[in-house]
Amino acid sequence: MHIKSTTFVKSATKPANYPPAALPEIAFAGRSNVGKSSLINVLVNRKALVRTSSTPGRTQLLNFFDINGAFSLVDLPGYGFAKVPLAVKKEWGPMVRTYLERRESLRAVVVLFDIRRVPREEDLQLLDWLEELSVPTIPVITKIDKVSRGQRLKQIGPILEATGLDRDDFTLFSAPTREGMEEIWERVEAALEAGEEPDPSIESDSSAVPGDEADLSPPTGE
Ligand SMILES: Nc1nc2c(ncn2[C@@H]2O[C@H](COP(=O)(O)OP(=O)(O)OP(=O)(O)O)[C@@H](O)[C@H]2O)c(=O)[nH]1
Ligand SMILES: [Mg+2]
């Protein structure tokens, strides 16, 4: 993905305040502190487009970003942080559920899991909603730099067991090493393209090789 521009559009909590659903959109969800904002920053190659924090639970808003004027990324509020006041915790469910139900431009949700943690109720709730609402899901296991290569398979066992997903459903990712970044871009691009209306004026070419289009090719490294 060639990133020409990344712009923070706005924060919102309810549909009336969402920006217009003019562009296809990909959202990022997961528990507080799992690394949602860090993943977005790595994808768009910016150190701090999205604020990351060592104080989990600070982002209690939906944050909308415009990429290349072509699609949007949304950083969803995290859940499950013990120190968040109960009133705020109660808002998370309706806020996220409403977004998933009502956002017509939503193409997929990237769901993050920490390689060191067993998924909990809210993680499974989120997966259930995505399935119920038929929202395509891109599961990611993050912070893989925190365990040795040899330990990876053993560490992800409880995640596979709790979610019922297969090893191949997950992309393994690390923000500091950027491992997995290209694979996540490929999955995001596929989700963005899957939602496109076929343009009858363009002759379909089923033999096209993915990545042919200049703008949609994987990063060439830097
Ligand atoms: N080692 C390691 N640390 C990471 C990784 N991703 C994120 N972190 C760290 O984890 C902490 C939380 O990351 P954020 O990106 O702010 O997490 P978040 O999911 O956006 O958290 P909330 O906004 O509070 O919901 C920060 O200190 C990050 O530097 C990773 O892949 N590896
Ligand atoms: Mg965040």
The total domain count for the chain is 1
pLDDT of residue 36: 94
Q: How many residues does the chain have?
A: 222
Nearest CA to ligand 1 atom 14: 35
Q: From 147, 86, 97, select the one nearest 117 (Cα to Cα).
A: 147
Contacts 24+ apart (CB under 8 A), 39-44: 39/110, 39/112, 39/140, 39/142, 39/173, 39/175, 39/184, 40/65, 40/73, 40/75, 41/175, 42/175, 42/178, 42/181, 43/1, 43/73, 43/181, 43/184, 43/185, 43/188, 44/3, 44/6, 44/73
Distance CA 108, CA 106 (A): 6
What pLDDT does 22 receive? 93
pLDDT for residue 201: 64
Of residues 88 and 166, more confidence is placed in 166
Ligand nearest to the CA of 43: 1
Q: Does position 105 have pLDDT exceeding 50, yes or no?
A: yes
Residue 205 domain-assigned (yes or no): no
Beta bridge partners of 79: 31
Burial class (CB within 10 angstroms; exposed 0-12, middle 13-18, buried 19+) of 98: middle
Please compute the mean of the pLDDT values over residues 49-74 and round it to a whole number: 79
Let me know if residue 119 belongs to a domain.
yes
Q: What SS3 class is residue 138?
A: strand
Q: Which residues surround ligand 2, an ion (CB under 5 A)?
A: 36-37, 59
Q: Is the pLDDT of residue 135 over 60?
A: yes
Q: Is residue 121 part of a domain?
A: yes
Taking residues 175-190, what's their average pLDDT? 97
pLDDT of 222 above 50:
no
Centroid of ligand 1 to alpha carbon of 34 (angstroms): 5
Domain hosting residue 42, numbered range: 6-185
What confidence category does residue 217 fall into, taking pLDDT thresholds of 50, 70 and 90? Answer: very low
Encode pLDDT of 87-102 as tens digits.
777 788 899 999 999 9
Does the pLDDT of residue 214 top 50, yes or no? no
Instruction: Tell me whether residue 198 is in a domain.
Output: no
Q: Which residues line ligand 1 (CB under 6 A)?
A: 30, 32-38, 52-54, 56-59, 78, 142-143, 145-146, 174-176
Q: Give the confidence band of 44 by pLDDT, cuts at 50, 70, 90.
A: very high
Angle at 191 between CA 167 and CA 164, to 5 degrees: 25
In a domain, 41, yes or no: yes
- Ligand 1 atom showing the smallest separation from residue 38 Cα: 15
60 C-alpha vs ligand 1 centroid, how far in Å? 15
Output 53 or 189, whichever has higher pLDDT.
Answer: 189
Phi, psi of 9 (to 5 degrees): -95, -60
Establish if 58 belongs to a structural domain.
yes
CATH code of the domain containing 181: 3.40.50.300
Number of H helices, E strands in the chain: 5, 7
Q: What mean pLDDT value characterizes the chain?
A: 87
For 159-188, the DSSP string reads HHHHH---GGGPEE--TTT-TTHHHHHHHH
pLDDT at position 79 is 85
Give the integer Cα–Cα distance in Å for 202 and 31.
Answer: 42
Tell me the one-letter amino acid at 217.
Answer: S
* Å from CA of 76 to ligand 2 middle: 8
- Please check the confidence at residue 15 and state whether its pLDDT lies above 50: yes
